[in-house]
Structure 1
Amino acid sequence: MTFQTLTLITLLGLAGPWLAWRQSWHLPVILGELLAGILFGTTGFGVLHPADPTFTFLADVGFAVVMFVAGTHVPVRDASIRSALGRGALRAAAVGVLAVIAGQAIAAWFGTGHGLLYAVLIASSSAAIVLPIIDSQRLGGKPVLELTAQVALADAAAVVALPLVIDPRNAGRAALGALLVAGAAVLVYLFLRRLEDSGIRHRLHRVSEDRQFALELRVSLALLFALGALATRGHVSIMLAGFALGLAVAAVGEPRRVAKQLFALSDGFLAPLFFVWLGARLNLREFGDHPYLILLGVALGLGAVLAHALMRCAGQPIALGAIASAQIGVPVAAVTVGTQLHVLRPGEPAALMLSALVTIVAAAWGTRSTAPTVRDN
């Protein structure tokens, strides 16, 4: 990779904010970044080379940071969310049951043999998409609290389940690696909790703020990279390492200063680089050789939307069900890990990303259709 290439990647990252500029469209920023990568990558002009080792490594770092930030967005300390956990857990479980049925049916119909993987995708929700929607649209009330709990639980469960189902032959190894990463995250939580309760963290924070040391950010990144190294050694995705650390930080309480610093680091550089890399890696030309996979992507996306919309039977408004179906982190991880392990068929990664786009469109519709009764006044 050269500075010329890095300049191009950074400029292509601006396609995200440009496409999402009009708020009424409710489009996520990552959509423009993915499309820019597709246009200049394998599918399009071929200017970007996603196999470049430096490009790939920076993208892995970006993926870890993206999942770390997503984990910190889960409101685990919010007492009002805890009160809605029961209803949210029941809905997440019900969607999971429907997802298994739909996933197996779709896998059998298309003959891919990836029923469990499809089930995880259909059941997943993306806290990184849904929670910003709730904040930006000022949604409130009991239904939204239940939605938040449902999404947080579904997102966490999908992140844990994905490494186990994407390569069933090595599920035991993946389970052991996942336990090691989870155990390390618990130790990190206890360590951070001790620093918080003893007042050491506050003293370090004052010195760091006065002297512009950015100590908390440096420690957070060191812990993230350490868990990422453990995940790599344990043959599980760095997605789990980032998300688990994010949950640990959220459980202790993320300082606002660190949140702003992480936002600048992630959304300003690493996240756009990752999504441009992901788009450059997708080969949509394979749809020409396997056009039926377009139907696979649409079927997976509609299956996810339908499974979540059916929670209307459990008292959830259809619009909120459509918002809950939004997914991006888990499909991205499935494409990244599945491609690295060579367990996905040609064209299947593009189909998985197409299914995610279908759910994002449905979430945009749900946002526009949200009843006034669930908005804060």
Structure 2
Amino acid sequence: MSFTVLAVVIAVGLIGPLLALRRGWHIPVVLGELLAGVILGKTGFGYFVASDDKFTFLAEIGFGLVMFVAGTHVPVRDESLRKAIRPGLLRAVVTGIVATGVAYALNAVVDTGHVALYAVLMASSSAALVLPIVDSLGLGGRPVVELLPQVAIADAACIVALPLAIDPPHAGRAALGALAVIAAGAVAYVLLNWAERSGVRRRAHKVSEDRQFAIELRVSLIVLFALARLATATHVSIMLAGFVLGLAVAAVGEPRRLARQLFALTEGFLGPVFFVWLGASLDLRELLTKPEFIGLGAALGLGAVISHLSGMLTRQPMSLGVLASAQLGVPVAAATLGTTLHVLQPGEPSALILGALVTIAAGVVAGGIAVRRGLVSAKAVSG
């Protein structure tokens, strides 16, 4: 990889913001970045070589940062959300049960042997997608408050379960690795919480702001890379390392300056590198040679929507159930991890991404329906 290639990666990544420019469409920026990678990668012109070691390493850093930021977006300190944990947990569990049944039915048709993986995918949600849609549409009220912990619980649980589901023969090893990363994340939380309560973090923040040291960002990156090293050493996805650290920071309280710095580093540089790399690594032409994988992707997306509609059994509005099915992080991680471990068939990673795109489209439509049904906050109404 050269500076020329890196410049092209960042340049074509601007397709993401261009497609997301119109607010009413609620298109995630990452879709444009994925599309750019697809066009210039294996599927298209072949300019980007996803197997390049330098490109892959930068993409892995970007992946860890993307999941770190996603973890910080989970509102674990919100008191109103804590009261809604019980119904949110119940709906997440019921969704998981329904998704497991759908996964068995789907595997009976495609016979890939990935029942556990499909169940995790269809049960997952994406806090990084759903929360921005909720905020941008001004959704509110008790049903929406109960939706947020449901999404956060499903997101976190599926991130932990994915390494176990994608490679069942090594599930024991993956479980131990996941526990090690989670335990390290818990230690990070204890230390961060001590620094916050003792005033050490505030004093360091003042010095850093006055002298332009960026201490909080540096410390965050040190911990993230240490957790990433632990994850790779124990054969666990970097995804879990980033998300666990993000949850720890969110639980303590993320400083606004750190949030801005992470946003700039992730969204301006390493995040686009990862999603362009991911698009470049996919060979969508394989879907044309194996049309059954097109059906698999559509079925995974539809199965996710059906699984999340189980929330209607507990009187959740249909639109919010569909919105909860919107996902990207877990399917992306599954495609990345499955490609790295060589446990997916040719064309299957692309099918997983296609399924995610189906849920995103359904979630965007459902968000608009929720607004029309009056599921908006009092602030949005007055506005």
Aligned equivalent of 2:133 = 133
Aligned equivalent of 1:375 = 376
Aligned equivalent of 1:309 = 309
Aligned equivalent of 2:210 = 210
Give the share of equivalent positions with the same residue, in percent.
61
Which stretch has the larger CA shift, 135-144 or 278-287? Answer: 135-144
Deviations 1:193-229 (A, max 9, x none): 1101111111001111111111000000000000000
- Tell me the TM-score normalised to structure 2 length: 0.97
Which stretch has the larger CA shift, 304-313 or 189-198? Answer: 304-313
Say whether the 8 Å CA contact 1:73–1:250 is kept in structure 2.
yes
Shift, 1:126, TM fit: 0.2
**How many residues end up aligned between the 2 structures?**
377
Deviations 1:9-52 (A, max 9, x none): 00111000111111111111111110110000000000000000
CA distance in 2: counterparts of 1:326 and 1:61, whole angstroms: 24
Q: Secondary structure at the match of 1:373?
A: coil
1:199 maps onto 2:199 in alignment: yes
CA distance in 2: counterparts of 1:177 and 1:351, whole angstroms: 27
Aligned equivalent of 2:10 = 10
Letter in 2 for 1:291: P
CA distance in 2: counterparts of 1:154 and 1:310, whole angstroms: 14
Shift, 1:103, TM fit: 0.9
Which stretch has the larger CA shift, 42-51 or 22-31? Answer: 22-31
CA distance in 2: counterparts of 1:315 and 1:335, whole angstroms: 34
Aligned equivalent of 1:63 = 63
1:112 maps onto 2:103 in alignment: no
Shift, 1:367, TM fit: 1.2
Letter in 1 for 2:141: G
Shift, 1:139, TM fit: 1.3
Letter in 2 for 1:376: S
In the alignment, structure 2 segments of 5+ residues that lack a partner are 379-383
> After the TM superposition, which residues 1-377 of structure 1 pair with which residues of structure 2 at under 5 Å, given as runs?
1-371=1-371, 372-377=373-378
Shift, 1:357, TM fit: 0.1
Which stretch has the larger CA shift, 51-60 or 135-144? Answer: 135-144
Deviations 1:241-262 (A, max 9, x none): 0000000111100001000100
Letter in 2 for 1:368: G
CA distance in 2: counterparts of 1:20 and 1:330, whole angstroms: 21
Q: Secondary structure at the match of 2:51?
A: coil
Letter in 2 for 1:117: L
CA distance in 1: counterparts of 2:333 and 2:77, whole angstroms: 26
Shift, 1:373, TM fit: 2.8
Shift, 1:313, TM fit: 2.2
Say whether the 8 Å CA contact 2:81–2:148 is kept in structure 1.
yes
CA distance in 2: counterparts of 1:353 and 1:330, whole angstroms: 10
Which stretch has the larger CA shift, 329-338 or 311-320? Answer: 311-320
CA distance in 2: counterparts of 1:32 and 1:213, whole angstroms: 34
Once superposed, what is the RMSD of the aligned Cα atoms? 0.7
CA distance in 2: counterparts of 1:72 and 1:25, whole angstroms: 25
Aligned equivalent of 2:381 = none
CA distance in 1: counterparts of 2:214 and 2:116, whole angstroms: 43
Letter in 1 for 2:80: S
CA distance in 2: counterparts of 1:33 and 1:23, whole angstroms: 17
Letter in 2 for 1:361: A
CA distance in 2: counterparts of 1:186 and 1:145, whole angstroms: 26
Letter in 2 for 1:346: P
Q: Secondary structure at the match of 2:331?
A: helix
In the alignment, structure 1 segments of 5+ residues that lack a partner are none
Say whether the 8 Å CA contact 1:108–1:115 is kept in structure 2.
no
Say whether the 8 Å CA contact 1:297–1:351 is kept in structure 2.
yes
Letter in 2 for 1:9: V
CA distance in 2: counterparts of 1:291 and 1:204, whole angstroms: 57
Say whether the 8 Å CA contact 2:98–2:310 is kept in structure 1.
no
- Tell me the TM-score normalised to structure 1 length: 0.99
Letter in 2 for 1:270: L
Say whether the 8 Å CA contact 1:287–1:293 is kept in structure 2.
yes
Q: Secondary structure at the match of 2:374?
A: helix
Deviations 1:179-203 (A, max 9, x none): 1100000000000011011111110
CA distance in 1: counterparts of 2:7 and 2:88, whole angstroms: 44
Deviations 1:156-183 (A, max 9, x none): 0000000011000000000000011000
Shift, 1:311, TM fit: 1.4
Say whether the 8 Å CA contact 1:60–1:274 is kept in structure 2.
yes
Letter in 1 for 2:72: T
Say whether the 8 Å CA contact 2:38–2:280 is kept in structure 1.
yes
Letter in 2 for 1:173: R
CA distance in 2: counterparts of 1:205 and 1:134, whole angstroms: 31
Say whether the 8 Å CA contact 2:298–2:354 is kept in structure 1.
yes
